[in-house]
Amino acid sequence: MKIIYAKDYDSMSRKAANIISAQVILKPNSVLGLATGSSPIGIYKQLIEWYEKGDLDFSACHTVNLDEYVGLDKTNDQSYAYFMYHNFFKDININMENTNVPNGTNTDAAGECARYNKVIQDLGGIDIQLLGIGHNGHIGFNEPGIAFEKETHCVELTQKTIDANTRFFNSKEEVPTHAYTMGIKNIMNAKKILLVACGAEKAEILYRMVTGKIEPSVPASILQLHNDVTIVADEAALTVINEKAPYLIERLPSCNKK
Ligand code: GLP
């Protein structure tokens, strides 16, 4: 695992966007695995800026998102399909037919999960998977459990995740209790993984993910077994690693500035 230090959120976003940008330049028809949450928003903004400058072309790219709330359709402003369109897709030259998010309105859970696994398979797999990390170590919506779920599945969200997501809804009652999410095998099959984390509240879980035991109670810990993982994290999220295992952190020369 490569852990890259970034001073703050903007710097983290820029460094991570550089990695995605290199992927798209080197392989214009890349399959990009995308994520939602507050952590990747700055990355999408940066990529849009470089697209507008003429440095990036997404016309041949395909995208697959990690997850979606069950019960929300793409016109609901809290759905991940809505998030992706408004934070990224509408401002770049991606063909919307090349974008994929699980269909939260499909009430046939088994059918939807099988369909989504096939989408990923038919695309030939994911070239780079962007991930955030939940406070409890979840990736996508793979919540802590007693086993690693392999492929796309319907998950019951933990109270901790529901609480963390309540800020986006008008009331607690509106927060969905279930989601469709790629499984650990789908994520681990990605050729490259790029995980971003920011803020002090991610510091402990990031340390556990990187140095702790590989166990389903910290789903992100499985990433220790992937051979191409890059973590870009801000100073606050790196405090515990910096305290207990500072030698794991790479500080690129540009860190003198940002
Ligand atoms: C949600 C998403 C995850 C994301 C997590 C953290 O649970 N399903 O993919 O990583 O939130 O979000 P944030 O980046 O806002 O902390």
**Do the strands 99-100 and 62-65 form a parallel or antiparallel pair, or are they unpaired?**
parallel
Given the CA of residue 66, which atom of ligand 1 is nearest to it? 9
Instruction: Answer yes or no: 178 catalytic.
Output: no
Place 257 in a pLDDT band, splitting at 50, 70 and 90.
Answer: low
pLDDT, residue 146, reads: 85
Centre of ligand 1 from the C-alpha of residue 133, in Å:
6
Q: How far apart are CA 124 and CA 181, in angstroms?
A: 19
Give pLDDT tens digits for 107-154: 999 999 999 999 999 999 999 999 999 999 999 999 999 889 899 999
Give pLDDT tens digits for 70-105: 999 999 999 999 999 999 999 999 999 999 999 999
Which of 138, 139, 156, 168, when mutated, tests ligand 1's pocket best, judged by the most ligand atoms within 8 Å of its CB?
A: 138
Of the residues 136, 151, 178, 242, only one is catalytic, namely: 136
Q: Is 36 in the pocket of ligand 1 (CB under 6 A)?
A: yes
Name residues whose C-beta falls within 8 Å of residue 84's C-beta, 6 or more positions apart in sequence: 34, 36, 63, 65, 99, 101
Q: Measuring CA to CA, which residue among 194, 139, 196 is closest to residue 6? A: 196
Q: Measuring CA to CA, which residue among 208, 204, 213, 210 is closest to residue 239? A: 204
Looking up tokens 């209790």, which residue turns up? 177
Tokens at residue 258, please?
């940002």
What SS3 state is found at 161? helix
Distances (CA, A) of 196 to 15, 202, 233: 10, 10, 6
Name residues whose C-beta falls within 8 Å of residue 66's C-beta, 6 or more positions apart in sequence: 33, 34, 35, 36, 129, 131, 139, 140, 141, 181, 182, 187
What are the φ and ψ backbone dihedral angles of 65, each rounded to 5 degrees?
-90, 155
Give pLDDT tens digits for 172-225: 888 999 999 999 999 999 999 999 999 999 999 999 999 999 999 999 999 999
Q: Is 181 in the pocket of ligand 1 (CB under 6 A)?
A: no
**Upper half-sphere CA count for residue 5 (Cβ side, 13 Å):** 21
Instruction: Answer yes or no: 29 catalytic.
Output: no
Closest Cα to atom 11, ligand 1: which residue?
Answer: 37
Instruction: Answer yes or no: 242 catalytic.
Output: no
Which of 44, 133, 202, when mutated, tests ligand 1's pocket best, judged by the most ligand atoms within 8 Å of its CB?
A: 133
Q: Is 132 in the pocket of ligand 1 (CB under 6 A)?
A: yes
Which domains does the chain carry? Answer: 2-250 (3.40.50.1360)
Instruction: Answer yes or no: 18 catalytic.
Output: no
Tokens at residue 156, please?
């019951």
Of the residues 127, 143, 149, 234, only one is catalytic, namely: 143
* Mean pLDDT (whole number) for 215-236: 97
Place 256 in a pLDDT band, splitting at 50, 70 and 90.
Answer: low
